[in-house]
Amino acid sequence: MKKAEYAIRLKEITKSFGNVVANNKINLFAKQGEILALLGENGSGKTTLMNMLSGIYRPDSGSIFIYGEEVYITSPRDSFELGIGMIHQHFKLVDVLSARDNILLGTKRKEGRGTSSLSRGIEDICTRFGFEIDLNKKVHNMSVSEKQTVEILKVLYRGAKILILDEPTAVLTPQETEKLFGILRRMKEEGCAIIIITHKLNEVLEISDRVTVLRKGESVADVVTSETDAISLTSLMVGRPVELSINRPEPAGNESLLEVYHLTVIDDEGKKAIDNISFSLNAGEILGVAGVAGSGQKELCEAIAGLHGVEKGAILYKLENIVGKTPDEIIKMGISMSFIPEDRLGMGLVASMGIVDNLLLKSYRSKKGLFIDRKPPAELAKRLVKKLDIVASDFDSPVSRLSGGNVQKVLLGREIESKPNVLVTAYPVRGLDINSSYTIYDLLNEQKQKGVGILFIGEDLDVLLELCDRIMVLYDGRITGIVDAKSATKDEIGLLMTGSKLEAGA
């Protein structure tokens, strides 16, 4: 073991999907007892690279060395046998099983289920690292951070000495993040090699010993954390110096557009997803919504858009109640409201259709007669492609072949084109690189200045704090506070996200 200096060493790894080169001759290494941050924008190839270590993908070319020996990882199983464990951003847990069963899954240990000796095995790990978890709880009853704990336990139980975490803090509150970092430091002390994928600079600086920066699928830098700073890391990541602040024009009006009164929404499983909330959205403002995933954001958006039934309460648009109306009726009432859903290709767009047919989606009805008319959307497509710099080979090939940023632009472009008064948007920059993200922010600000009221469901607190005028925090379907984004702090919002109520609502 001593002879191998590197726990992991990747040499000239290349991987492409179709015509897209996701990783191009990437080199990377990580030592034992070291936390390496893998930094890069969305789409820079971080997850792809790490998935080649976890056995999900296979490199087109290049070699992987584990403790100095060249290996071929052909499945997640190989990966485990090599002592590598990856905690994926989208957890890979079986919902209907308990935490214990999930941890045991696929392992060969002989102990029967539920026997004391086995539980001790898992509980040992818990006490050693300070996890608090009910092993008999079913995963679908767990909060996001509990699920993450199960994932980490799963990896540790398999004896992993090399840990890879993909954006582990994206779903956590600042306080939970601190706790996670504490655990990572413990692991580091025990001699684990840890790679943490992230695009958040402050976290890189806080937790890592070394940083490898990826840009557009290539490794562009490898620096010791203590010798660098946020500004130089950003320019490494983006490839040019970047102004890191988002514009925030003054609110364009204060007339109230949308008023929500005592809204309660029951989700598909019969639980209260939204629990008696009231707020209002003004014309010309961006109202941010913060909260850990699953706090009711999805149901709130869908209720406003008429896609989800409402149990109790009212949603007034210009003083007219729209609760109980179908999306179709809402459109027909002349209310121009646009909802940009979280699941772009599963909800907002038709993946297998081209741009033109997708632009038809909301306008095809306005034409009289039996037939559809593709001319207006074709012209609109041309206009949007030009205005928003959409990169598309032609207008008829499936939008699923476009990159995430372009897909988002098509969707946002279509919604804005319908000249809405209210725009509801959920995670509009998820998966986008910095350039595309700023295009989206600019588009939203442009709408704001036209007097559109925007409800912005976000996940990155830094963005929320810089872009929005007010931020409403959801916890477990309730509003724990509405704060002024100009004066609020991240910690303050973080606390609200964990459910501690603000004394006097803003």
Partner 1 sequence: MGGIKKHKRKEPLIRIAKREGLSKPKTVALKVCATVLALVAGGLFIAAQGHNPFSVYFFMVKGALGTKMSFQETVKVAIPLLISSLGITLAFRMRFWNIGAEGQIIVGAIAASYFALYKNTMPHAVLMSVMALAAIVAGGIWAGIPAFFKSRFGTNETLLTLMFNYIAQYMIQYLREGPWKDPNALGFLQIARFSDNARLGSVLGIQAGWIVALLLTVAVYIYINFTKSGYELRVVGESENTARYAGMNVKRIMMRTMFISGAVCGLAGMLQASGTDRTLTDTVAGGVGFTAIIVAWLANLSAPMILVVTALFSILEKGISFIQSRFMISSAAAAVLQGIILFFVLGFEFFTRYRLVLRREAR
Partner 2 sequence: MGQHDYVISFIFASVLAGVPLLFGTLGEIITEKAGHLNLGVEGMMYMGAICGFVAGYHTQSPFLLLLCSFLGGAAGALVYAFLTVTLFANQNVTGLALTIFGAGFANYIGEALIMKAPNRAAVLSDNITRFFGGIYIPVLSDMPVLGRLVFQYNIFVYFGVLLAILGGIYLNRTRRGLNLRAVGENTAAADAAGIRVVLYKYIHIVTGGGICGLGGAYIAVVICGGTWTNNCVNGLGWIAVALVIFAGWSPYRTILGSFVFGSLDVLRFYIPKDVINIPTAFFAMVPFAVTAAVIVITSIRKSAVNAQPRCIGINYFREER
**Which residues form the interface with partner 1 (CB under 8 A)?**
1, 17-19, 58, 60-61, 66-67, 69, 71-72, 74, 78, 81-83, 159, 161, 305, 307, 326-328, 330-331, 339, 341, 343, 346-353, 357, 360-362, 364-365, 367, 370-372, 397-398, 401
Torsion of the alpha carbons at 313, 418, 429 and 458, rounded to the nearest 10 = -20
Q: How far is the CB of 85 from partner 2 (least distance, A)?
A: 10
Which does residue 326 touch among partner 2, partner 1, none (CB within 5 to 8 A, set by kind)? partner 1
Using the minimum distance from each CB to partner 2, give the nearer residue, 101 or 373.
101
Minimum Å gap between C-beta 149 and partner 2 is 16
Angle at 165 between CA 22 and CA 242, to 5 degrees: 60
Pick the closer one to partner 2 by CB: 112 or 334: 112
Query: Residue 203: phi, psi to the nearest 5?
Result: -70, -40
CB of 470 closer than 8 Å to CB of 438: no
- Cβ 73 to partner 2 shortest distance, Å: 12
Nearer to partner 2, 98 or 439 (CB): 98
Provide the pairing of β-strand 34-40 with 193-198.
parallel
Least distance from partner 1 to the Cβ atom of residue 172, Å? 28
Identity of the residue numbered 173: T
CB of 344 to partner 1, least distance (A): 10
H/E stretch holding 69? strand 69-71
Do the beta carbons of residue 408 and residue 343 sit within 8 Å?
no
- The type of residue at 242 is V
| Residue placing its CB nearer to partner 1 in the complex, 16 or 256 | 16
The residue written with tokens 């149990």 in the block is 311
DSSP state of 401: G
Lookup: tokens for 166: 């993909």
CA distances from 399 to 267, 342, 351, 410 (A): 30, 16, 5, 9
> Residue 48 in contact with residue 207, Cβ under 8 Å?
no
- Using the minimum distance from each CB to partner 1, give the nearer residue, 105 or 372: 372
The two structure tokens encoding residue 429: 């920059």
We find the least distance from the C-beta atom of residue 151 to partner 2, in angstroms, to be: 9
For partner 1, the closer of residues 159 and 505 by Cβ is 159
- Kindly give, in sequence order, each residue whose CB lies less than 8 Å from that of residue 401, ignoring residues fewer than 6 positions away: none
Cβ of residue 331: shortest distance to partner 1, in angstroms? 5
Find, among 69, 65, 68, the residue nearest to 52 by Cα.
65
What would the two tokens of residue 92 be?
């890979």
* d(C-alpha 112, C-alpha 263), whole Å: 48
Pairing relationship of beta strands 422-426 and 312-317 according to DSSP bridges: unpaired
Smallest gap from Cβ 495 to partner 1, in A, equals 34
Please state, as a whole number, how many other Cβ atoms lie within 10 Å of the Cβ of residue 443.
Answer: 20
Q: Which does 504 bind (CB under 5 to 8 A by kind): partner 2, partner 1, none?
A: none
Name the binder of 327 from partner 1, partner 2, none, CB < 5-8 A by kind.
partner 1
Residue 470's binding partner out of partner 2, partner 1, none, with CB under 5 to 8 Å set by partner kind: none
54 binds, among partner 2, partner 1, none (CB under 5 to 8 A by kind): partner 2
Rounded least distance, CB 74 to partner 2, Å: 10
Select 180 or 356, whichever has its Cβ closest to partner 1: 356
Residues contributing to the site for partner 2 (CB under 8 A): 17, 54, 56-58, 75-77, 79-80, 86, 88, 91-97, 101-102, 104-107, 113, 154, 158
- Which partner from the list partner 2, partner 1, none does 205 bind, CB cut-off 5 to 8 Å by kind? none
Q: What are the backbone dihedrals phi and psi of residue 212, each rounded to the nearest 5 degrees, phi first?
A: -110, 130
- The sign of the torsion formed by the CA atoms of 361, 363, 365, 371 equals negative
- Taking the least distance from each CB to partner 2, the nearer of 21 and 361 is 21
Choose the one of partner 2, partner 1, none that binds residue 93, judging by a C-beta under 5 to 8 angstroms depending on kind. partner 2
Q: Could you tell me the CA-to-CA distances from 503 to 480, 481, 506 in Å, in that order?
A: 9, 8, 9
Length reported for the chain: 506
Q: Which does 371 bind (CB under 5 to 8 A by kind): partner 2, partner 1, none?
A: partner 1
Q: Name the residue nearer to partner 1 (CB basis): 326 or 489.
A: 326
Q: Compare residues 92 and 200 and give the one whose CB is closer to partner 2.
A: 92
- Residue 114's binding partner among partner 2, partner 1, none (Cβ under 5 to 8 angstroms by kind) is none
Beta carbon of residue 76, minimum distance to partner 2 (angstroms, whole number): 5
Round to the nearest angstrom and report the end-to-end CA distance of the chain: 59
